[in-house]
Structure 1
Amino acid sequence: MAGQSLPQWPPEITDEQREALTLRATTYALSHGLVYLPPADVQPPVPTSAIHAPLALFPSPFPREHFELARRLQRDYNVLYARIAMDEEFLDNVMGAERGVGRVDEFTGQLWRLWKRLRDQGISQTRHLGLFRSDYLLHKEGEDAPLELKQVEFNTISSSFGALSQNVAKLHRHLLATTEYYNTSPILRLENLPPNDTISGLAEGLAAAHKAYGSPSAWILFVVQDGERNVFDQRWLEYELIEKHSIRVIRQTFGQLAVSAEVVPVSRILRLRLPGSLPRGAESVEISTVYFRAGYTPKDYPTAAHYETRYLLESSAAIKCPSLQLQLAGGKKVQQVLTTPSVFGRYASGSVIGDTEGLRRSWMGMWGLDEGGLEGVREARDQAQNLVLKPQREGGGNNVYKSDIPPFLDTLPAEEREAWIAMELIRTPGGLGNYLVRAGGGTAGAIKTEVVSELGIFGWALFGGPDGSVEEKEVGWLLRTKGKDSNEGGIAAGFSVLDSVVLVD
């Protein structure tokens, strides 16, 4: 049956072939911007070197039917999360600091209070932009069970690696074109390596927001982290915006914006004052769209002033990607509550969601640790070996798995249980390996290991306005591959490599 099994992987190659593929892969990566800044205690103001991003030597097999299903579902997820973000009462109840998880999760509470303050002052977002990524793993319940596509999470802020993922897909096509992978597998054919145009797709979303804002001469602001190593993934979007859409981009950290940003009274236009740094002697620029590649972790707000800078940006008329409410909509608690039939039915009504059953089937079982008094905790203890516990955090390294769950529950204060969800573990199929290549290993640095691959599908949605309309698209994909013994999947956190798919029937 199609998609029910995967081939043994990777194909057998000699040491000489491995070294040749590694050399070709690393030099291609360095030549085509598939790069990071090297680790440093403090990144220099002007980069002096770069290293290739961690990558897989072979594309990893993925069932064609599940790949196409994930792409189809993305458009429904775009609409679903747009509708959630516009439901203020729901977000107040689930994520708020008065009735929701923001009461016990300080970071969530801080974000919600900023949003509440805006509303109390009569400031609302007329339009929102989401650059989304929905992440999936293949699930196999038992030895004879069929493969299923199961969602890991839905990302509404700083959905990264779109640009570098496009480049690693091109890298694998290059290796196929130049070496034919030494004819080691019949599935390694061009028709099984799908194109990936994520850069143009994500830039199209940002350009759509810029156009909706209505000031062609305005710029787009990228809010970035101090010491960002993944800068090139962001720069590719910047280059696409200027070269294909004639839209200029400016990059600023929260610390820099505390000095440069101002909101003009009445019009609420966001301007950045940068005298001496702008074309034609301009003192300041108007901002059409604020794209957050920072702001998803408490570490991005080390002082109260950083939260105030976020508030200033949110109070402006610029379109935010994401707005505070859309960021809150991406919380793990929302993901869990959505699995409740009555809640999901509320957003799936009116034929706005095309494949409601497809969305439902993509979910694992989930519950809140605070459910039913002590029942949620008791179930988590009893089923610990089949679970992962998730807090309201992004960026990797935050989850608690299997045998670590009981001792964690022993130390978790009762009042903090509401901030955590329990999710059934996705049982990934075995027998898959790859060669993982990290910078600095030389031609012998491709390490063969058993792996798990996580598929991410990108999409964007521009929504709001007087009619609450949603303009959206599915725009590309990524594959992150990690060693089977690694629980986490964040590339920037050092647990994964960039990969691409070879589709199998």
Structure 2
Amino acid sequence: MSFVSWPPSLTPEQLEHLTLLATTYALAHSLLYLPPHEPNTPPPPAPVSAIHAPLSLFPTPIPRVLFHRAQRLQRAYNNLYARVALDTAFLDEVMGTGPTGAGAVDEFTGALWKAWKASREEGPVQTWHLGLFRSDYLLHQPEGAKEIELKQVEFNTISSSFGALSEQVSKLHRHLQATTHYFDSSSLLQPGNFPPNDTIAVLAAGLAEAHTAYGNPSASILFVVQPDERNIFDQRLLEYELLEKHNIHVHRRTFAQLAEHAHLSATRTLHISPLPAIPSSSATHEISVVYYRAGYTPTDYPTPQVYDTRLLLERSRAIQCPSLALQLAGGKKVQEVLTRPGVLERFLDRAEDIEEVRASWVRMWGLDASADDVPIAGASAEGVGKDDEPAGTRCARARAQDLVLKPQREGGGNNVYKQAIPPFLDTLPARERAAWIAMELIKPPRGVGGYLVRAGGGEAGVMRAEVVSELGIFGWALFGGEGRGGVAKKAEVGWLVRTKGEGVNEGGVAAGFSVLDSVLLVD
């Protein structure tokens, strides 16, 4: 198909009707956010209103063969990152505080690594790890290229959000097709081109498998959450699935609440006390699995005491999702090091997996890299930048228009793009270069459009714009327990699509950069 012809044209009346159907469906099916509250005022103790999440009226066309390739790749990526998390020597070298580690120059990474080291020195009482993963991709079609490729943006090992809401938006698009046939605006909008999306059930199944591995059916799962969380419905849908389908109770706590109400027994069993305002028949709740929807950004650790709380959870018998090792494995520096010659073979055995995973990458390198470690001809970029700058930095200056710089951060809003790179490099302290990677920009097909509805609608209503869509594939893996070096159980689950206006660099929905979307398979 020609992406330039997407989305189909609608009359103003048709567009208004679709928008009404979409927003009312969203409000009826938990495709919701809590509304923002006034700055410097606490939110109400119980929500009194909600707004629909940002959404797209039409699904996004994705080549069928590339969608299935992304699903197939998730199996290899599940194995890859599980094995990276179990390779202590590798993580110490890449993310630790030694001379080659990102933790030596990035304070946040260093603090996480030190907490992990402290837990190792005490000796673990729990060897199982649970990862709920999401691998994010963009379609890649440089100018003049005929073929469309699939290229990975990043691999998320902590707080991989929007799984539940992505399932709801895929159902929304099926509903619009069933009720309106999209006004027969495109022959592509057929039920067989809307792939199933059962992310909620399978992510919950991963948490339930870890709960079973823990060994106490009466224990509960702990969700560690951010205060004033607006994306609460994405989390609640998982919570309800765990209770209704698996009879597992969930308790939600912030780090601040856990500092007061979490403690370990002599056997390092994790217990949390009921919150004072919540009546409970139990004095404490034993925790089987700790699922982090917080803890991925330095702002989640405003004081050293929060790191102490994270370490307490890590030291416990509860299975961590993710463990500190697995969170470190998801760092951007690990992503870059894996692309170096021979490193991937350390973790994957099957030649087909190695070939497909490597084909999903664009070129990347560290800003502190020597010319031999920059995978680009003429990497030394002589005459560019300062004489004492390493080749990785000089190459980033020379190729700035085709690059993005990424730090060891999650959550959106941290990257540096194109023309902003040279002045940023002018101010970046030399010792911090080791914490940054340069990554070639993925170049999506041009001319793809979409109808975007912002959160809550607002006065703008629906907006037509040229867009870029990012495909995320979810998976989970339970690994490392009982002395096993491999993955005990794993699954490739559902998917999400996040769509943003062309020219918008970041892609985070919660950060306000994009809308939730779904897949339309095309041949």
SS of 2:396's partner is helix
TM-score when scaled to structure 1?
0.97
1:497 aligns with 2:515: yes
Question: Once the two structures are superposed, what CA deviation does each residue of 1:355-414 show, in whole Å capped at 9, x if it has no partner?
Answer: 221100000000000011610011000000000000000000000000000000000000
Aligned to 1:248: 249
SS of 2:513's partner is coil
Distance, in Å, in 2 between the alignment partners of 1:286 and 1:295 is 21
Unaligned segments of structure 1, at least 5 residues = none
Aligned to 1:98: 98
1:428 aligns with 2:444: yes
Distance, in Å, in 1 between the alignment partners of 2:390 and 2:273 is 54
**Considering only aligned residues, what root-mean-square deviation do their CA atoms show, in Å?**
1.4
Question: Once the two structures are superposed, what CA deviation does each residue of 1:422-470 show, in whole Å capped at 9, x if it has no partner?
Answer: 0000011011010100134369611000000000000000000212231
Question: Once the two structures are superposed, what CA deviation does each residue of 1:210-229 show, in whole Å capped at 9, x if it has no partner?
Answer: 00000000000000001100
Distance, in Å, in 2 between the alignment partners of 1:444 and 1:110 is 43
SS of 1:281's partner is coil
Contact 1:6-1:504 within 8 A present in 2 as well: no
Aligned to 1:365: 363
Q: CA deviation at 1:97?
A: 1.5
State the one-letter code of the partner of 2:241. E
Question: Once the two structures are superposed, what CA deviation does each residue of 1:302-344 show, in whole Å capped at 9, x if it has no partner?
Answer: 0011111101101101000000000000000000000012111
SS of 1:341's partner is coil
Distance, in Å, in 1 between the alignment partners of 2:6 and 2:495 is 21
Contact 1:389-1:401 within 8 A present in 2 as well: yes
Where has structure 1 moved over 4 Å in runs of 4 or more? 275-280
Distance, in Å, in 1 between the alignment partners of 2:278 and 2:87 is 39
Aligned to 2:51: 51
Unaligned segments of structure 2, at least 5 residues = 371-388
Contact 1:137-1:426 within 8 A present in 2 as well: yes
Distance, in Å, in 2 between the alignment partners of 1:412 and 1:333 is 17
1:185 aligns with 2:183: no
Aligned to 1:74: 74
1:302 aligns with 2:302: yes
Question: Once the two structures are superposed, what CA deviation does each residue of 1:270-307 show, in whole Å capped at 9, x if it has no partner?
Answer: 00012767786210010000000000000000001111
Distance, in Å, in 1 between the alignment partners of 2:352 and 2:126 is 27
Contact 2:289-2:318 within 8 A present in 1 as well: yes
Q: CA deviation at 1:183?
A: 0.3
Distance, in Å, in 2 between the alignment partners of 1:247 and 1:12 is 47
Which sits farther off after the overlay, 118-127 or 367-376?
118-127
Alignment map for 1:96-495 (pairs within 5 Å): 96-99=96-99, 100-123=101-124, 125-265=126-266, 267-274=267-274, 281-349=281-349, 351=350, 354-372=352-370, 374-441=390-457, 445-465=461-481, 466-470=483-487, 471-495=489-513
Distance, in Å, in 1 between the alignment partners of 2:142 and 2:233 is 39
Distance, in Å, in 2 between the alignment partners of 1:280 and 1:9 is 54
Q: CA deviation at 1:120?
A: 1.7
1:22 aligns with 2:11: no
Label 1:440 to 1:133 Cα distance change in 2 as closer, same or farther (>3 A). closer
* Aligned residues with identical type, % of pairs: 65
Distance, in Å, in 1 between the alignment partners of 2:364 and 2:327 is 21
SS of 1:120's partner is helix
Q: CA deviation at 1:354?
A: 5.0
Contact 1:454-1:480 within 8 A present in 2 as well: yes
Distance, in Å, in 2 between the alignment partners of 1:271 and 1:408 is 46
TM-score when scaled to structure 2?
0.93
Distance, in Å, in 1 between the alignment partners of 2:31 and 2:280 is 33
1:88 aligns with 2:102: no
Aligned to 1:34: 31
State the one-letter code of the partner of 2:414. N
State the one-letter code of the partner of 1:337. V
Contact 2:167-2:197 within 8 A present in 1 as well: yes
Contact 1:276-1:283 within 8 A present in 2 as well: no
State the one-letter code of the partner of 2:200. I
State the one-letter code of the partner of 1:387. L
Distance, in Å, in 2 between the alignment partners of 1:480 and 1:414 is 35
Distance, in Å, in 2 between the alignment partners of 1:7 and 1:306 is 49
